[in-house]
Structure 1
């Protein structure tokens, strides 16, 4: 019979587990949406800003970046690099969301209200901060004892 001793976890240890779980969930989310860029690229094409042209290329490239960065985010050894890549990708890709908002572009015949566009902008900002936190660009613990 094996007895398992209950050991209280330190706050830093709990944060490490939380970071791994959040990295996995966010990584899976990016992989999922990235794969969707390949399964239904025509859905994403309308929001690519006309000024950059070649919407199919940008949809597929952004999907590939999302898949790769999603996988890299899950792996602890590549998490910091992936987090930085995701921050940059989220900033660049917001141009598509902004294009959709400014030009009132419908997806599947659905126009989003200003409220929903605002919610999307807030989510984008939150994802940037989450990526910065996951990559430890934002302090990960409450402070180190000296």
Structure 2
């Protein structure tokens, strides 16, 4: 949930920067994309810099847990960078959607084990609530990359499409 809190804070800051004219982020989708990219790059770097924080989250049957933590960090950084490059944005969004689904079993593992991970709340409820946010992460990646428009609704015959919102 710390990841989602970071997403929300970064989205609001990006939106405010656009409103103040500091940057030209006028669309909500662009704010969400920037927030997701920054959050992914930050937490991806954290995977690489403080891997021991993430090792308890890796299931024991997986070989080379340090490598798994490092690879997930690199995936997050690559996904974040991909969202910022217009020609890679849609591919990055699709890959991130798959990534967020792929890490769901680790989040289930965390909830079932009741882990106490450095930097995360020590309450069991935290991991269970966090599971509910996983579909939001998938949607966020797909929406901000322009792969889906839901919940935006366009009138039939409207000239706007997903490309117009990228």
Report if TM-score (shorter chain) is over 0.5: yes
SS of residue matched to 1:95: helix
What does residue 123 of structure 2 align with? 112
Q: Is the 8 A contact 1:20 1:74 kept in 2?
A: no
Q: Give 5+ residue unaligned stretches, structure 1.
A: 1-15
Coordinate RMSD, CA, aligned = 2.1
Structure with more helix by fraction: 1
Please say if 1:71 is aligned against 2:81.
yes
Q: Aligned to 1:125, what secondary structure does the other structure show?
A: helix
Distance 1:83 1:65 in 2: 12
Gaps of 5+ in 2: 1-25, 158-166
Deviations 1:90-128 (A, max 9, x none): 1111222211111222113963323x2232112221111
Question: 1:38 corresponds to which residue?
Answer: 48
**Structure showing greater Rg:** 1
Partner of 2:36: 26
TM-score by length of structure 2 reads: 0.71
User: C-alpha separation between the residues in 1 aligned to 2:95 and 2:45?
Assistant: 18
Is contact 1:45-1:59 (8 Å) kept? yes
From 100, 117, 121, the equivalent of 2:131 is 121
Query: Once structures 1 and 2 are overlaid, which stretch shifts more, 136-145 or 83-92?
Result: 136-145
| Misfit runs of 4+, over 3 Å | none
- Give the deviation of 1:65 after TM superposition: 0.5
Deviations 1:17-76 (A, max 9, x none): 221121111100000000001110011011101111211000000000100100111222
**Distance in structure 2 (CA, Å) of the matches to 1:144 and 1:107:** 48
